[in-house]
Structure 1
Amino acid sequence: MAENLWRHTVNQLDPYISGQAAKDAEKQAALKEVSRLATNENPLGPSPKAVAAMQQAVLDSHFYPDLTSLELRKKLGGLHGIDPENYVTGNGADNIITLVIASFVNPGDEVVYCTPTFSEYHKNTLLVGGTPVEIQTTRDHKFDLEAILEAINDKTKLVIICNPNNPTGTIVADYELRAFFSRLPKHVVAVLDEAYGEFISIPNYSTGVEFMKEGLPVITIRTFSKSYGLAGMRVGYAFAKDEFIRPLQAVREPFACNRVAEAGAIAALDDEEHKQNVLRSNKKEMEKLIKEFRSLGYSVEETHTNFLFIDMKQDTNKLAGELFSQGFIIRPCAVWGFPTFARISIGTSEQNDRLIQALKEIRSGAASQV
């Protein structure tokens, strides 16, 4: 059997499963329109400036891209006030996660984080022979920093904090994070996954930028997939002090960020108006959806992202099937151990209105059968 030739850890890995593509769903169910509210994409799309830049860059696609994305790193450095040499770019935030774990974790080392959270921490730790140490989130679905500190031992190499967390949308208070990073032993590196960081609207909330400038031992990961609407281009990056960023630069594959994607990311950073429009729309629709979901009797967690983590008081696998027949794709959370919860992305105003109407019709139909 060819499987006997596989690396031993491969059998422990589960392929990443994303939300179903809208076009595939339309064909499968013969639907005229499908709203994909499972993958936390930006419903307003990328900046027109980014689109124009990418179209222009296609004309030069016979040339290799810049090896280290120097222009993008300069742009990010100017935005954050950080030296461009303290950045590394990659093929999406998930690629950066792979680089971080491959750069620091040896066989037998432990990586500590809370669950439920992004599955790639678990997968990549196993892939390099490390040991994932998973701790349950708090009752209010936040990362349990004290429990993480208690789990640290001589084998611990990384602790990963997803903030805001996926799939719960919750955040930890910045003063708690600052204290947590300060208490880490010298042999432990902190990783702060801020894929949804741009959606945090708390005034004066400190992020990885501030923590790095304060000299705290943290690697911060971000992406252009969410607020910038470039999920299909796959642009992620990390920043950290020199001793933490150099190994990532060494492990990183050549040309990890393609020419078209880099052009789009650079132009996206120049369109602050579009980004603010995305954030305003997201906040407005989020507040509307929370009110509507609660009126339907669902429990909705406070969120700092572009999605909602909702206890829908029923089997969400079944509900997802019913919504699919009406043209909506949502993410049931049974895989994370929450069978009555769903993660639902915040769509356009029209999509959100139709979703609420569909849920009302489903509830009405269920009531009529009692």
Structure 2
Amino acid sequence: MYKSLTKESSKSFWREQVKKLDAYIPGKSIEETKKEYHLHKVIRLASNESPFGPSPKAIEAMKKEIQDGHLYPDSTCTTLRERLGELHGIDPGSYVVANGADNIINLLIASYVNPGDEVVYCTPTFSEYSKNTLLMGGTTVEVPTSDDFVFDLEMMLEAITEKTKLAIVCNPNNPTGTIVDEDKLRDFLNRLPGHVIPVLDEAYIEFVTHESYATGVEYIKEGFPVISIRTFSKLYGLAGMRVGYAVASEELIEPLLTVREPFACNRIAQAAAVAAIDDYEYIGKVLCENRREMTKMIEKLHSLGFEAEPTHTNFIFVNMKQDSSRLANNLLKKGFIIRPCAPWGYPEHARISIGTAAQNEHFFTVLEQILTER
């Protein structure tokens, strides 16, 4: 006999692993904020998007490609993989492209993690490692970062057991903006047991200028069994297009290609990514502006009594020395969105994206008003 489902009774149909998950809560959208607070203009400094938008070459490529929007895209992203191969000096067969870096993380963990397998990483970091591990019935092994919010590789090594399958290093780390020293990372990779696959999440790699930083691509060329994850959402300004990729030896990439959905990256996104790689003028502008504004923002934050360290990304991890969620709510009412870090266990910290000079100047004007009012 038919019975209508309640919210509680419907959970009896859920997979047991799903019941353990918390839904991902993204930063508040611009559209939602405008509607809720009756605002005409909202600036989001919460999601680490490029404030400059896509490059001119990428925009032109998207306009051209949309005419063929009725056709399925190239399932294997041949042109993009070939261009990435040229960029990094690695065979195109060593790449898999998908619907953003978070989709790559999903494919990676779905490919390798069995029920009971352990995945080791440090916290605070990107929440999708935990979510996807639990979804596959795996076990998360979370190690605290060091006092300066850097991935503690020694502690990760100590946490590894015979059940460990993946060791993930977010480098640079989200939400702290820190990187691990190249010597320490190389030592970590050399000491990692053979049954553990090292994964380097390098979503913000293009912003790194530190001389003691080695890329996943460099390790792969040396023969390390590393899987590197990258994205076009940050430097290239294509967050809305959703283009991410993994690069590794073809043997490590093979299972991701097996579990990947047939058309994981749309044709407009593929065209935009190919064009974006070659727009060197745009890339240089973004990197230069990001570095300049980072310095100015940190100086201003210090002058307001906050704590903030130089970052290797396009965002700043800030100790606001007060309830950051409350401060973020006050900023929302004024048309600014920042990311409180309470979900990571740091209620007084916030992650603030680096905007344009004009956006940042306006932000600090509003922030000072709020602080004065309080």
Matched, 1:102 2:87: no
Q: Is the 8 A contact 2:133 2:140 kept in 1?
A: yes
Deviation at 1:213, TM superposition (A): 0.5
Q: Which residue of 1 aligns with 2:369?
A: 361
Q: Which residue, 229, 254, 259 being the options, matches 1:221?
A: 229
Q: Which residue of 2 aligns with 1:153?
A: 161
Matched, 1:196 2:196: no
Deviation at 1:205, TM superposition (A): 2.8
Q: Which residue of 2 aligns with 1:5?
A: 13
**Once structures 1 and 2 are overlaid, which stretch shifts more, 163-172 or 239-248?**
239-248
Distance 2:190 2:362 in 1: 47
Deviation at 1:300, TM superposition (A): 0.2
Q: Deviations over 1:263-295 (max 9, x none)?
A: 000010110110111111111111100000001
Superposed, 1:48-197 pairs within 5 Å as 48-197=56-205
Please tell me the residue identity of whatever aligns with 1:103.
S
Q: Which residue of 1 aligns with 2:273?
A: 265
Distance 1:131 1:301 in 2: 33
Q: Which residue of 1 aligns with 2:293?
A: 285
Distance 1:179 1:137 in 2: 18
Q: Is the 8 A contact 1:307 1:346 kept in 2?
A: yes
Q: Is the 8 A contact 1:26 1:34 kept in 2?
A: yes
Please tell me the residue identity of whatever aligns with 1:349.
A
Q: Residue 264 of structure 2 aligns to a residue in which SS?
A: coil
For the aligned residue pairs, the C-alpha RMSD in angstroms reads 0.9
Residue identity over aligned pairs, in percent, reads 60
Distance 2:50 2:58 in 1: 14
Q: Residue 230 of structure 1 aligns to a residue in which SS?
A: coil
Q: Which residue of 1 aligns with 2:218?
A: 210
Distance 1:15 1:276 in 2: 37
Distance 2:134 2:169 in 1: 18
TM-score normalized with structure 1 length: 0.98
Q: Which residue, 332, 340, 354 being the options, matches 1:346?
A: 354
Q: Which residue, 272, 275, 283 being the options, matches 1:275?
A: 283
Gapped runs of 5+ residues in structure 1? none
Q: Which residue of 2 aligns with 1:19?
A: 27
Q: Which residue, 16, 41, 44 being the options, matches 2:49?
A: 41
Deviation at 1:244, TM superposition (A): 0.8
Count of residue pairs the alignment pairs up: 366
Q: Is the 8 A contact 1:168 1:301 kept in 2?
A: no
Matched, 1:320 2:328: yes
Gapped runs of 5+ residues in structure 2? 1-8
Distance 1:303 1:170 in 2: 6
Q: Is the 8 A contact 2:219 2:226 kept in 1?
A: yes
Please tell me the residue identity of whatever aligns with 2:37.
A
Q: Which residue, 298, 307, 314 being the options, matches 2:315?
A: 307
**Once structures 1 and 2 are overlaid, which stretch shifts more, 4-13 or 201-210?**
201-210
Distance 2:329 2:131 in 1: 28
Q: Is the 8 A contact 2:181 2:212 kept in 1?
A: no
Q: Which residue of 1 aligns with 2:3?
A: none
Deviation at 1:302, TM superposition (A): 2.5
Q: Is the 8 A contact 1:225 1:232 kept in 2?
A: yes
Deviation at 1:162, TM superposition (A): 0.3
Distance 2:31 2:258 in 1: 39
Please tell me the residue identity of whatever aligns with 1:223.
T
Q: Residue 260 of structure 1 aligns to a residue in which SS?
A: helix
Q: Which residue, 25, 33, 36 being the options, matches 1:28?
A: 36
TM-score normalized with structure 2 length: 0.97
Q: Is the 8 A contact 2:88 2:217 kept in 1?
A: yes
Q: Is the 8 A contact 1:46 1:230 kept in 2?
A: yes
Q: Residue 158 of structure 1 aligns to a residue in which SS?
A: strand
Please tell me the residue identity of whatever aligns with 1:283.
R
Deviation at 1:171, TM superposition (A): 0.4
Q: Residue 47 of structure 2 aligns to a residue in which SS?
A: coil
Q: Residue 160 of structure 1 aligns to a residue in which SS?
A: strand
Q: Residue 59 of structure 1 aligns to a residue in which SS?
A: helix
Q: Deviations over 1:276-330 (max 9, x none)?
A: 1111111111110000000111000221000000001100111011111111001
Q: Deviations over 1:26-54 (max 9, x none)?
A: 12101121110110000001111101101
Please tell me the residue identity of whatever aligns with 1:260.
I
Moved over 2 A (4+): none
Q: Which residue of 2 aligns with 1:234?
A: 242
Q: Deviations over 1:125-181 (max 9, x none)?
A: 001100000011100001000000000110000000000000000000112111111
Distance 2:111 2:85 in 1: 23
Please tell me the residue identity of whatever aligns with 1:322.
N
Distance 1:80 1:153 in 2: 33
